Chain A
Amino acid sequence: MTAPTQPPKRPMGRAILRSALSLGLFAIVTAGVVAGTRTLTFDRIADNRQASQYRVLKEVLPEALRDVPIEALLDNAVMLPASEAMGQHQPFRGWRVKRGDNAALLMPVVATGGYNGDIHLLVGVDQDGRVSGVRVTRHQETPGLGDKIERRKSDWITDFNGRSLEDPAPEGWEVTKDGGEFDAFTGATITPRAVVRAVKRSLEYVEAEGDSLFQADQEDQP
């Protein structure tokens, strides 16, 4: 508080002002660089996202619908009612594809109870309530063990193709260790168990919501 030891006020204020100005200038320049890069890469990133989404969507489509073009597929996004069982607490976006007698519903499903957090799946169901395909879109399961649910690591996930709630019967919708019909892989039971249950729940969801999902027409397009 003693006056003599205090530095003169003026230069102090100027130093602060100078620092603030130079920091502000840096903020503007760096933000500009980031904005520039973003503009340059924006389209490409959007394309990549869409292509990668499309690739997975296509893999879970029924055989007969696999040649549906990308625009037709992505334009057919529909909002589906929320379902706690599928890990979707809000109405969520799915895709409905219809051509001739064939129809399929593609739904993102969150499998809770993975070994290491949620497992995000994409489940395709056809008009007869059969699974047309399942793919894992995001997970954090143990590399080398639980990650065999990925299609590129093993073909375990294709075991669901063509399955329905009658095949196997509901009590068979478990991993072999729990008395069901689906193999678990060595060293990992928790991961396949979570996936099997999530697929079963998606089939139950389609059965419950039933035909409304397939028959609702274009009115709910975004």
Chain B
Amino acid sequence: MSQFNELVRNGLWANNPALVQLLGLCPLLAVTSSVVNALGLGLATLLVLMGSNMSVSLIRHHVTSNVRLPAFVMIIAAFVTCADLLMQAYTFELHQILGIFIPLIVTNCAILGRADAFASRNPILPSATDGLMMGLGFAGVLVVLGSLRELFGQGTLFADMDLLLGPVAAGWQITVFPNYEFLFLILPPGAFFATGLLIALKNVIDDRLERRRRLRQADQPRESRRVRVTGTIR
């Protein structure tokens, strides 16, 4: 069980593909101008990552190490092409917006990275979990960035969600600041800026946690000395 906890922690936080490994930054910066775009690409990436991790894990004993990379690339390319076709079939409008970034999931190093570093060495269940968690970690950062940029860039949240989720979501748009626009955040430089802030925020939180842990440890020697005392008495 602890292995799964470790995978969850790694994917979502400690080894987050976007904030720590800094992988897949090109689509990350390009499509996070709104929540719907971010969520669409995030979900597509998540599915591809899970699918490729599971397949790579399944075939890990049947591929010799010198042809493993082309084999992985083929698997990933197949999943991406399928995701691309499925999005064209079921979320056509969103596909029109995300355009080239769906096929470009192939080049997201996070996917080949997980295939080679994890899935090719682990059984299917941990590999699927790793794919799911890394995918969620990536999609999570995309959505947070998308929300930040949409909110402070054009003053709304969840605009055009119906493109992804169907007519149910048509009324989800929340206009927080009417008639507001801060172009910088919508443009690519704003994406760099917001990503930087997120990374900084993560580091601050990590520092805080680390300091608290140290404090707790600093308290411990007294106890442990007592333990040692009881030990020597024996």
Report the minimum CB–CB distance from B202 to chain A (whole Å): 27
B92 interface residue per 8 A CB criterion: yes
Report the minimum CB–CB distance from B203 to chain A (whole Å): 30
List residues 134-193 of chain A with CB under 8 A from any CB of chain B. Answer: 142-145, 187
Contact present for B78 and A34 (CB under 8 Å): yes
Looking across the interface, which residue of chain B has its beta carbon closest to that of A186?
A: B181
Contact present for A44 and B62 (CB under 8 Å): no
Contact present for A37 and B70 (CB under 8 Å): no
Q: In the complex, A45→B43 CA distance in Å?
A: 20
Partner of B88, one of A23, A31, A48: A48
Chain A residues, Cβ within 8 Å of B154: 144
Can you list 23 A-B pairs with a CB-CB distance of less than 8 A?
A19-B66, A22-B67, A23-B70, A23-B71, A26-B59, A26-B71, A27-B74, A30-B74, A30-B78, A31-B78, A34-B85, A37-B82, A37-B85, A41-B85, A44-B90, A45-B89, A48-B92, A142-B187, A143-B187, A144-B181, A144-B183, A144-B186, A145-B183
Q: In the complex, A18→B82 CA distance in Å?
A: 28
B164 interface residue per 8 A CB criterion: no
Q: In the complex, A213→B89 CA distance in Å?
A: 35
Contact present for B153 and A22 (CB under 8 Å): no
List residues 120-145 of chain A with CB under 8 A from any CB of chain B. Answer: 142-145
Q: Which 3 A-B pairs have the closest CB atoms?
A: A30-B78, A41-B89, A48-B92
A38 interface residue per 8 A CB criterion: yes
B15 interface residue per 8 A CB criterion: no
Interface residues of A, CB < 8 Å — how many? 24
List residues 15-65 of chain A with CB under 8 A from any CB of chain B. Answer: 15, 18-19, 22-23, 26-27, 30-31, 33-34, 37-38, 41, 44-45, 48-49, 52
B93 interface residue per 8 A CB criterion: yes
Chain B residues, Cβ within 8 Å of A33: 78, 82
Report the minimum CB–CB distance from B185 to chain A (whole Å): 9
Q: In the complex, A19→B65 CA distance in Å?
A: 9
Chain A residues, Cβ within 8 Å of B227: none
Residue of B59, B89, B154 with most chain A CB atoms under a 10 A cut-off: B89
Interface residues of B, CB < 8 Å — how many? 29
Given contacts A26-B74, A30-B78, A37-B82, A187 and B88 within 8 Å (CB-CB) = no
Report the minimum CB–CB distance from A36 to chain B (whole Å): 9
Report the minimum CB–CB distance from A207 to chain B (whole Å): 33
Residue of A31, A38, A44, A144 with most chain B CB atoms under a 10 A cut-off: A144
Given contacts A41-B86, A45-B88, A52-B92, A22 and B62 within 8 Å (CB-CB) = yes
Looking across the interface, which residue of chain B has its beta carbon closest to that of A51?
A: B92
Chain B residues, Cβ within 8 Å of A19: 64, 66-67
Interface residues, chain B, with chain A CB atoms under 8 Å away: 33, 59, 62-64, 66-67, 70-71, 74-75, 77-78, 81-82, 85-86, 88-90, 92-93, 96, 153-154, 181, 183, 186-187
Contact present for B74 and A52 (CB under 8 Å): no
Contact present for B85 and A45 (CB under 8 Å): yes
Partner of B71, one of A22, A38, A45: A22
Report the minimum CB–CB distance from B82 to chain A (whole Å): 4
Looking across the interface, which residue of chain B has its beta carbon closest to that of A152?
A: B160
Q: In the complex, A67→B121 CA distance in Å?
A: 61
Looking across the interface, which residue of chain A has its beta carbon closest to that of B95?
A: A48
Q: In the complex, A117→B89 CA distance in Å?
A: 28
Chain B residues, Cβ within 8 Å of A142: 183, 187
Looking across the interface, which residue of chain B has its beta carbon closest to that of A36?
A: B82
Q: In the complex, A33→B48 CA distance in Å?
A: 14
Report the minimum CB–CB distance from A190 to chain B (whole Å): 15
Chain A residues, Cβ within 8 Å of B86: 37, 41
Contact present for A144 and B153 (CB under 8 Å): yes
Contact present for A187 and B183 (CB under 8 Å): yes
Q: In the complex, A145→B93 CA distance in Å?
A: 21
Looking across the interface, which residue of chain A has its beta carbon closest to that of B77?
A: A30
Q: In the complex, A38→B59 CA distance in Å?
A: 24
Chain A residues, Cβ within 8 Å of B183: 142, 144-145, 187
Q: In the complex, A30→B79 CA distance in Å?
A: 8
Chain A residues, Cβ within 8 Å of B33: 143
Contact present for A34 and B82 (CB under 8 Å): yes
Looking across the interface, which residue of chain B has its beta carbon closest to that of A49?
A: B92
